[in-house]
Amino acid sequence: MEDAFYNRLGNDRISSRQIDELIGLARGLVADGNVNQAEVEFLEKWLVANAGISDLPILSTLYYRVRDILADGVVDEEEKAELLDTLNRFSNRDFELGETLKATTLPLCAPAPVLSFEGRTYCFTGTFNYGQRKHCEVAVTERGASAGGLTQKTNVLVIGMYATDSWKHSSFGTKILNAVKYRKEGLPISIVSEEHWVRHL
């Protein structure tokens, strides 16, 4: 029992050091306001080396996200923007991957509506546990919906579960605020969480 306690203490120290190291790494990567292919590949190598000795959800979540981005061998502009946003918020200790935002701080529909897909138009914003935004879009198009940017014709805005309490100031906050404006103007747009959306897949 004593051994287990000291092992846990040792693991806690490793985890804490890894988080500090990752925050430092994230700050270095976002310093110039851009993320390039070589930097993403370097981040993947660091995560491979560290995820195996840690049970921190943040490391495994970020690892799978980076692995997905590099799966086709090319980091496109949207992927760069998403990763930059994630690293920016992480380097500011704004949130931790693996800690989801309490839904009460988001302007979600209450009660949450039953979602359908055939003939509906979806828009996705934020960082998703399900995968990259393009994976979320494929999930709805395979079910008969269309996906794209936010317009007055959008039926459903899905907000990724890794958001922060300061979502209004984040790069995806504009879509949420515009969707709220459309809703107030009487347009039939539903604003739902990733968790609620996944339940309907």
DSSP assignment string, the chain: -HHHHHHHHHHHHHHHHHHHHHHHHHHHHHTTS---HHHHHHHHHHHHHHHTT---HHHHHHHHHHHHHHTTS---HHHHHHHHHHHHHHHTT---TT-PPPGGGS---SSPPPP--TT-EEEEES--SS--HHHHHHHHHTTT-EE-S--TT--EEEE-S---TTGGGSTTHHHHHHHHHHHHTT---EEEEHHHHHHT-
- Distance between alpha carbon 115 and the CA centroid of its chain, in Å? 21
How far apart (Å, rounded) are the C-alpha atoms in residues 179 and 99?
24
Q: Residue 54: its pLDDT value, please?
A: 60
Question: pLDDT tens digits for the chain (201 residues)?
Answer: 444 433 443 445 556 677 778 888 888 888 888 889 999 999 999 988 876 656 666 677 788 888 888 888 888 888 888 888 778 777 765 544 444 444 446 788 989 999 999 999 999 988 788 888 889 999 999 999 999 999 999 999 999 876 555 555 555 677 888 999 999 999 999 999 999 999 999
Q: Residue 52: its pLDDT value, please?
A: 62
Q: Residue 8: its pLDDT value, please?
A: 42
Q: Residue 20: its pLDDT value, please?
A: 78
Q: Residue 163: its pLDDT value, please?
A: 58
8 Å CB contact between 123 and 147: yes
86-123 burial, b for 16+ CB within 10 Å, e for fewer?
A: bbbbbbeeebbbeebbebeebbbeeebeebebeebbbb
How far is residue 155 from each of residues 17, 122, 130, 152, measured CA to CA in Å?
A: 44, 6, 20, 8
* Token pair 């996906």: residue: 147
* Closest-CA residue to 193 (of 151, 152, 162, 148): 162
Q: Residue 128: its pLDDT value, please?
A: 84
